Structure 1
Amino acid sequence: MLVLLATALAAAGCGADRPDRPDRPDRADRPGSPGSPGSPEGAGARVVPSAADRRYLKRAEQILIAECLRAQGFAYEARTLPDEPPRRFPYVLDDVAWARRHGYGLDEERRIAARKAADPNERYFRGLPPERQKAALAALNGARPEGLSARMPGGGVVVASDEGCTARAQRRLYGDLQGWFAARLTVANLTPLYVPKVREDPEFRRAVGGWARCMAGRGHRYATPDALREALPGVRTRAAEIRLAVAEAGCAGESGLAATAKALDARYGAEVRRRYAGQIATELRLARAAVPRAREVLHRRP
């Protein structure tokens, strides 16, 4: 579909993250995080683009794509992106207050799906004749996936076109299109390199056992948080979802699983970030440099 393909480069690699991964902005003052004083990037890369900066970049890219497509005779509305993505948890839900408000976030996921289904760009694209659909996709993404390539940290190569409105918008913002494409996809695919190591660590497995005993004491018999996730489709009411989420989060803290997972994630994640320090630094550098260009795009629009 048009909208999905319009954001294909931005989404590429994101699907590799587990669906329960938290999405929190990087902090420049977090030890070991990109841009922190102890990070492999050094003192010159301490300014990390804020969440607002990242939103400027995404919004500006949408505006540039819309202008490019309209110039070629296609309708396209720059999409309004949500201020905050759904919160995700890679190992165990560990925030009791969040669980009380959102359960497992299933309502928000349904709202996002509904917004996508009602997207005017999707409706427009579906209403085009087949030949115009083909032309629209070529205008958006280029006629052939050639010109851009990125070797993924977990193996394999992703290729895309360096032509089309998406590539043109990103080149306008980031300048070095190939460098941005490769660095961004690399950074987006780092977590699968260390999340499995955390889950396989004996400390993590022991903590999961304590979590399971805590849950059983509350009347919920699940061997692991993953087993609980698999059972979620059978949860019929919002109240039941919240009760289960609150129990999981409470046991995550009481059993020590939350603290163990956090410590192991930091340890294994730091190893991976050191290995890919160059790509992380490139992504941050290009994003920082693009923020003023994104603001210019936004300021000249009503």
Structure 2
Amino acid sequence: MRRSALAVLLLMSLTACAVSLTACAPGAPPLPSPPPVTGDPSSRAAERQLLTRAEQTLIARCLAARGFRYVVRLPPDPPRRFPYVVDDVAWARAHGFGRDQERRIAAAKAADPNERWFRRLSPARQRAALAALNGPRPVGLRARMPGGGMVAASDEGCTAWAQRRLYGDLPAWFEARLTAANLTPLYVPRVRAHPAYRKAVRAWAACMARRGHPHASPDALRAALPGVRTPAGERALAVAEAECAAASGLAATARALDARYGAEARRAHAGPLATKARLERAALPRAREVLTGRP
């Protein structure tokens, strides 16, 4: 990957280092959004936005003190994900399989002023900017992932400084955040392997075949998507998938198994999840102070 593209990913993903089995290295995809702070959906969204904006504001101040510019911008909303099957007919009518959302996010990144600024830097200044943002080396923070393996990141740099300022205990926050963000791979394969899920997939495939779409599974349908040339064709296919997901029982089966195995994963990692919720609650007053200048 070219240096400029590598840097853009990092500058667009300030709230999370990339995950690997050995290090927090540049260039990997950003982590998924963390679980909510409170029970009310509107409050959760507002609190996540508050924490994100405060962290980016702190990072911008830190980078400015080191001679770099950064425009505080909230990242675009992530596309909606369906880990098993598209099961929302209204959403499918509007978005198909979400390729329009992927294009929206790509356009937002291309128009981002931080990306344009970074691309104009010399290679030496790009390296210096990355070191200022993420620290010189992935040393100082370590966490064991729920599925095994270790992740390391720097406890230096503006990202670490901003997160320490907000959350206080940076090592605890690093471990708790990564645990919460990486529970899904623990249980999605279990859902897909369950006999009830496989039986429902066969019923879904039969429903799709009756409609003229001979795909053995939602994954097989995804593999065929590059051959769908028009947005209207994509939406029609997505609507058929969603309607068959309901008619075959696949949607209900997937939701029930996901809830069951997801709850088991969260219980198994209840300690880090509780730590994350506690640190986020404690960070909210500090975030408001950062943004308003008042305690």
- TM category (shorter chain) comes to 0.7 to 0.9
Label 1:48 to 1:276 Cα distance change in 2 as closer, same or farther (>3 A).
farther
In structure 1, the partner of 2:212 is 219
Alpha carbons of structure 1 residues 61 and 151: separation in structure 2 relative to 1, 3 Å = same
1:261 paired to 2:266: no
* Aligned with residue 234 of structure 1, among 227, 234, 241: 227
Offset, 1:69: 0.5
Matching residue within 35, 50, 68 for 2:44: 50
Counterpart Cα distance in 1 of 2:136 and 2:33:
33
Q: Unaligned stretches of 5+ in structure 1?
A: 31-46
Distance of 1:133 and 1:282 partners within structure 2:
35
Checking the alignment, whether the CA contact within 8 Å between 1:48 and 1:288 is kept in structure 2 is no
C-alpha deviation, 1:291, in angstroms: 1.4
CA RMSD after TM alignment: 2.5
1:12 CA drift (Å): 3.3
> For each residue in 1:29-84, what CA deviation from the matched residue of structure 2 results, as whole angstroms up to 9, or x when unmatched?
69xxxxxxxxxxxxxxxx997121011111111111111111111111112333x4
- Which of 93, 109, 118 matches 2:111? 118
How many residue pairs get matched? 278
Q: Post-superposition shift, 1:300?
A: 3.7
The answer to whether the 8 A contact 2:17-2:153 is kept is no
Which of 52, 55, 61 is the equivalent residue of 1:61? 55
Q: Which runs of 5+ in 2 are unaligned?
A: 1-5, 21-28
Contact 2:38 2:44 in 1 (8 A): no
Letter in 1 for 2:63: L
The CA distance in 1 between the partners of 2:192 and 2:38, in whole Å, is 27
CA distance in 2, matches of 1:172, 1:70: 17
Gap change, CA 1:263 and 1:85, over 3 Å in 2: same
Residue 2 of structure 1, CA deviation: 3.3
TM-score (norm 2): 0.88
TM-score by length of 1: 0.86
- Report % sequence identity: 68
Corresponding residue number in structure 2 for 1:40:
none
* Mapped contact 2:136–2:154 kept (Cα < 8 A): yes
Q: Which residue of 1 aligns with 2:239?
A: 246
Deviations 1:110-149 (A, max 9, x none): 1111211222212212211222122111111111111111
Cα displacement (A) at 1:13: 4.7
**1:220 and 1:240 mapped to 2: Cα distance?**
12
User: 1:117-136 alignment to 2 at 5 Å?
Assistant: 117-136=110-129
- Residue 39 of structure 1 is matched in structure 2 by none
2:176, 2:276 within 8 Å by CA — same for their partners in 1?
yes
SS of aligned partner of 1:149: strand
Quote the Cα distance in structure 1 between the aligned partners of 2:34 and 2:89.
Answer: 17
Structure 2 distance, partners of 1:233, 1:287, is: 41
